[in-house]
């Protein structure tokens, strides 16, 4: 009698040299076959449960290497290697990501092997969910450990394709990493199978036909090449699957006002119509530890919880400012921390970013400088730095933009209020991964939402040379956040810049940016304050744009597991 083990705690070839099978419960193949629907629910829920730990690391791998965030200082936590690009082969967070990923693959594979399709629509739905989860995980693994798809996918390595444990455990020999192309093919095959099997309109806490279509829309966009050298076959497929999601009629863009509260909705909230799939977290399982050490707890201190040590980057803030003073709805997810006195009043200030140089005059990075605002007799403004008076010149008074000549260079900054500093950095809290149901840092990490689908269409149409349709889809997102902010013209000259900027604004803090730059063959530049080596750029050709496979997993693997260079 074959035993099936919930959560795959037993399938430990990825965590240990020992291949013990420790039963989490007493489910056997006979028991599953006797009551398939109930048993499959239990086992499938084990896969969903694994996503909760998986999604934390998924977020850090996808967001921290990007240019949306900064950290107040260096850290001994292994997540700092994602920010600093100082990759290390023994990264405990990457081990968790690898292990949780393959536990989901293994569990879903067991379900697929045991349960035959076609017996009922309910069973087929569950099988489809298992296929979706397996395909999604292969894609996420490949984008973390494999090079961007435009770069020789036939020869560059993705991850091992291991769809369940072989029957011969005693002589276990697992395959080496498949190519990026083969890994993507596995993901696509699974997602298409899931799309065909799933027929129930489940809420966004569960996989659905549309969730599979949304993931295929993204995968084909990742395969669509660069703006300069697009692959039209995959461009068309990304458009096709994006339109399938939209034409389902199941999802709508939230209104501007509701979108500004997007982070407060659970994925199955009746008022929330934009999320396609998210990893649902609930308060009862979200511990005090999670509120401090989870995703949101690093971005802000809310209701007395969280470290609040990572902030919106100077680059991201400048993108928000392009629409004018707080005109962009996405300011709703940024919470500047101001200094207040005993009567809760703020002090007007001028703040700017200046070049940080060593004693030899070589630029090392950037830093913030803020000082209280003072007024000349003629009504103009000045600030005092080290007992020296610096007059400010109006750039755009309506937008609170002024310039200052400091240390021989003119800088543009903003008239605002004195902000709290962490070390030397103004604390621009990020709340997009917090405040679900108004509960501190409770958050259900987003996998797919309709906003991304419209951005996928904008990019795909631009790569197709159809700038009219690209503009239509781009402006759907832009005008939702910026009233009257739609572009009047999109051309071959400006399309890539405008679409990429809007995608960065819209999908910030949702674990996209660290991949979006590289999949289009671009260079990551982070010219803003922080300890992240801001003068070092990372082109898509850099070896550091992909993660090392954890050395512990290579050591434990029953077979060859080739490391990234």
Task: List alpha helices for 248-365, DSSP H.
Answer: 256-259, 288-293, 295-299, 314-321
**Percentage of the chain lying above the pLDDT 90 cut:** 88
pLDDT value of residue 31? 62
Average pLDDT, the chain: 93
CB neighbours of residue 377 within 10 Å: 5
- Residue range 122-130: mean pLDDT, rounded: 96
pLDDT, residue 372, reads 98
Mean pLDDT across the stretch 358-382? 97
Segment 219-238 mean pLDDT: 98
Confidence of residue 171 (pLDDT cuts 50, 70, 90): confident
Mean pLDDT of 171-178: 91
Mode of pairing for the β-strands spanning 69-71 and 381-385: unpaired
Mean pLDDT of 479-488: 97
pLDDT at 105 over 50: yes
pTM of the model: 0.93
Mean pLDDT throughout 248-259?
98
- The angle subtended at Cα 316 by Cα 464 and Cα 305, nearest 5°, is 125
C-alpha 82/C-alpha 56 separation (Å) is 13
> What radius of gyration do the chain's Cα atoms show?
25
The SS3 call for residue 147 is coil
- Average pLDDT over every residue of 282-291: 95
371 pLDDT more than 70? yes
The token duo for 164 is 């369940």
Predicted confidence (pLDDT) per residue in 71-99, tens digit = 999 999 999 999 999 988 899 999 999 99
pLDDT at 168 over 60: yes
User: What is the band of 469 on the pLDDT scale with cuts at 50, 70, 90?
Assistant: very high
Better-predicted residue by pLDDT, 14 or 331: 331
Among 69, 14, 492, 4, which residue's Cα sits nearest to residue 308? 69
pLDDT of residue 15: 32
Residue 19 has pLDDT above 60, yes or no: no
- The angle at the Cα of 373, spanning 367 to 374, to the nearest 5 degrees, equals 140
Which are the contacts of 386, defined by CB distance < 8 A and separation ≥ 6? none
Query: Which of 41-45, 362-366, 558-562 bottoms out in mean pLDDT, i.e. has the lowest?
Result: 41-45
Q: How many CB atoms lie within 10 A of CB 410?
A: 10
Residue 540 pLDDT > 80: yes
Q: Which two tokens stand for residue 331?
A: 């300011």
- Nearest-angstrom CA–CA distance, 138 and 157: 13
Name the strand (E) or helix (H) holding 58. Answer: helix 36-63
Beta carbons within 8 Å of 137's beta carbon, 6+ residues apart: 54, 101, 104, 105
Determine the pLDDT at residue 65: 97
pLDDT at 21: 32
Using DSSP, state whether 538 is helix, strand or coil: strand
The pLDDT value recorded for residue 237 is: 98
Nearest alpha-carbon partner for 69 in 57, 78, 77, 60: 60
Give the confidence band of 172 by pLDDT, cuts at 50, 70, 90: confident
State the pLDDT at residue 114: 86
Q: How far apart are CA 406 and CA 58, in angstroms?
A: 41
**Is the pLDDT score of 34 beyond 70?**
no
Q: What share of the chain is helix, strand, coil (3-state, %, to 5)?
A: 40, 15, 40
pLDDT of residue 74: 93
pLDDT at 32: 63
Q: What does the chain come to in residues?
A: 565
């Amino acid at each position: 009698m074959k035993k099936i083990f919930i959560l795959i705690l037993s399938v430990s070839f990825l965590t240990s040299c020992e291949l013990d099978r420790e039963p989490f419960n007493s489910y056997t193949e006979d028991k599953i076959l006797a009551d398939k629907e109930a048993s499959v629910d239990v086992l499938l829920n084990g896969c969903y449960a694994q996503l909760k730990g998986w999604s934390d690391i998924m977020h850090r791998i996808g967001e921290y290497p990007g240019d949306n965030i900064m950290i107040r200082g260096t850290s001994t936590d292994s997540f700092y290697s994602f920010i600093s690009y100082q990759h290390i082969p023994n990264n405990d967070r990457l081990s968790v990501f690898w292990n949780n990923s393959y536990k989901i693959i293994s569990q879903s594979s067991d379900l697929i092997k045991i349960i035959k399709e076609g017996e009922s629509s309910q069973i087929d739905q569950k099988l489809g969910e298992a296929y979706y989860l397996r395909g999604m995980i292969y894609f996420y693994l490949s984008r973390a450990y494999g090079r961007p798809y435009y770069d020789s996918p036939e020869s560059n390595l993705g991850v091992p394709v291991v769809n369940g444990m072989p029957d011969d455990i005693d002589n276990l020999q697992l395959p080496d990493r498949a190519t990026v192309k083969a890994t993507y093919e596995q993901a696509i095959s699974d997602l298409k199978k899931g799309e065909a099997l799933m027929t129930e309109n489940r809420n966004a806490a569960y996989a659905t036909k549309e969730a599979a279509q949304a993931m295929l829309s993204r995968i084909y966009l990742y395969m669509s090449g660069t703006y300069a050298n697009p692959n039209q076959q995959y461009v068309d497929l990304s458009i096709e699957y994006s339109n399938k999601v939209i034409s389902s009629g199941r999802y709508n863009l939230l209104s501007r006002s509701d979108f500004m509260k997007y982070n407060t909705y659970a994925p199955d909230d009746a008022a929330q119509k934009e999320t396609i799939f998210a990893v649902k977290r609930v308060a009862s399982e979200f511990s005090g530890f999670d509120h401090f050490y989870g995703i949101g707890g690093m971005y802000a201190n809310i209701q007395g919880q969280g470290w609040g040590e990572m902030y919106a980057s100077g680059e991201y803030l400048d993108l928000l400012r392009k629409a004018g003073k707080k005109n962009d709805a996405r300011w709703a997810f940024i919470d500047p921390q101001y200094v207040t006195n005993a009567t809760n009043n703020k002090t007007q200030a001028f703040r700017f970013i200046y070049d940080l140089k060593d004693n030899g005059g070589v630029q090392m990075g950037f830093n913030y400088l803020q000082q209280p605002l003072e007024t000349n007799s003629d009504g103009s403004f000045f600030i005092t730095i080290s007992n020296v008076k610096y007059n400010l010149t109006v750039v755009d008074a309506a937008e609170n933009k002024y310039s200052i000549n400091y240390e021989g260079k003119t800088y543009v900054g903003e008239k605002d209020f004195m902000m709290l500093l962490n070390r030397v950095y103004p604390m621009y809290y990020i709340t997009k991964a917090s405040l679900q149901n108004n509960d501190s840092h409770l958050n259900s990490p987003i996998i797919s939402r309709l906003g991304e689908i419209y951005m996928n269409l904008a990019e795909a149409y631009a790569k197709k040379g159809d700038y009219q349709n690209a503009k239509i889809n781009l402006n759907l997102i832009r005008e939702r956040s910026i009233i009257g902010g739609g572009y009047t013209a999109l051309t071959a000259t400006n399309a890539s810049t405008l679409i990429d900027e809007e995608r960065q604004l819209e999908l910030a803090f949702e674990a996209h940016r660290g991949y979006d730059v590289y999949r289009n063959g671009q260079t990551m530049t982070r010219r803003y304050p922080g300890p992240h080596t801001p003068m070092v750029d990372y082109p898509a050709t850099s070896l550091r744009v992909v993660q090392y496979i954890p050395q512990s997993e290579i050591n434990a693997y029953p077979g060859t597991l080739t490391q990234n260079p």
